[in-house]
Amino acid sequence: MNTLKTWIFIAAYNEEQAIGAVIDDCLSVTQNIVVVDDCSADATADIAQRKGVHVLRHCINRGKGAAIRTGTAYALSHGADVIVHFDADGQHHAFDIPKLIQPLLDGKVDVVLGSRFLSESETNASMVRKMVLHLGRYFTWFFSGIRLTDAHNGMRAFSRDAARSIVLTEDQFAYASELIDEIRRLKLRYQEVPVTISYTDYSRSKGQRSLNFISIGFKLIWKKLFLG
């Protein structure tokens, strides 16, 4: 794996409890890590800086979609050929990164999406969470025309060209559906690979609640049907 040109992006908001261990995990893969602290009120940024990684800070809380735009621009400006999205709450594992980016290094695809529902995947998601995620699959298929096993997995990888081409306008978690729309619009080659998602009491407390997913869904339906 060409670690010199592979960058890991971590969006973080009030993650002082987990960010240190997450960064240590990612450092086992590459030194090229950028953490975008989305105006945390705790020591998230300070802990990340002590780890020696690149840390950017939003002066106001803008949301994960906005953090992705900030982190992507930074990684690209530092010569990234591959950009990996990695969650800050500890549910992802760095041992999945080599297989996540291998299709990109082989030149087979432009985007690789992690899936917790492929045959080799592992997850301890609750039944309710699984139901909501599967509904998200069908929502994505219906509105974007792209059929995935896991449409809202935060672990992803992008080639440099794909990362430069994708345009995200949503600041909050609706960016995830917008990203799938961009894959279709740009006709990017994509592939899912199995990854392990490990929920803890902490990551569950930090994650999006089912009600929030429903709210995001209604917002996206309104946007697609009435705003084009």
Average pLDDT, the chain: 86
* Single-letter amino acid, residue 56: L
User: Comparing 157 with 211, which gets the higher pLDDT?
Assistant: 157
Whether residue 128 is predicted with pLDDT greater than 70 in this model: the reply is no
Contacts of 50-54 with C-beta under 8 Å, sequence gap 24+, read 51/20, 51/23, 51/24, 51/27, 53/23, 53/27, 54/78
Q: Please tell me what DSSP assigns to residue 172.
A: S
Q: Average the pLDDT over 68-96 and give the result.
A: 97
Pseudo-torsion of CA 147, 150, 152, 158, nearest 10°? Answer: -80
| Cβ proximity of 53 and 45 under 8 Å | no
Spacing of C-alpha 203 from chain mean position: 15
Whether residue 48 is predicted with pLDDT greater than 90 in this model: the reply is yes
- pLDDT tens-digit series, residues 28-47: 999 999 999 999 999 999 99
Burial of residue 43 (CB within 10 Å: 0-12, 13-18, 19+) is middle
- pLDDT tens-digit series, residues 167-216: 999 998 788 889 999 999 999 999 999 999 998 878 767 655 444 545 55
* Single-letter amino acid, residue 34: V
- pLDDT tens-digit series, residues 88-109: 999 999 999 999 999 999 999 9
Return the structure tokens found at 106: 């082989």
Complete domains list, the chain, with CATH: 3-226 (3.90.550.10)
Helix (H) or strand (E) holding 146: none
Q: Average the pLDDT over 136-144 and give the result.
A: 60
CA dist 120 and 81 (Å) reads: 27
pLDDT of residue 93: 97
The pTM of the full predicted model, rounded to 2 decimals, is 0.83
| Cβ proximity of 182 and 167 under 8 Å | yes
Whether residue 138 is predicted with pLDDT greater than 70 in this model: the reply is no
CA dist 168 and 62 (Å) reads: 13
Helices (H), 106-206: 127-144, 160-165, 175-185, 201-206
pLDDT of residue 206: 67
| Cβ proximity of 48 and 155 under 8 Å | no
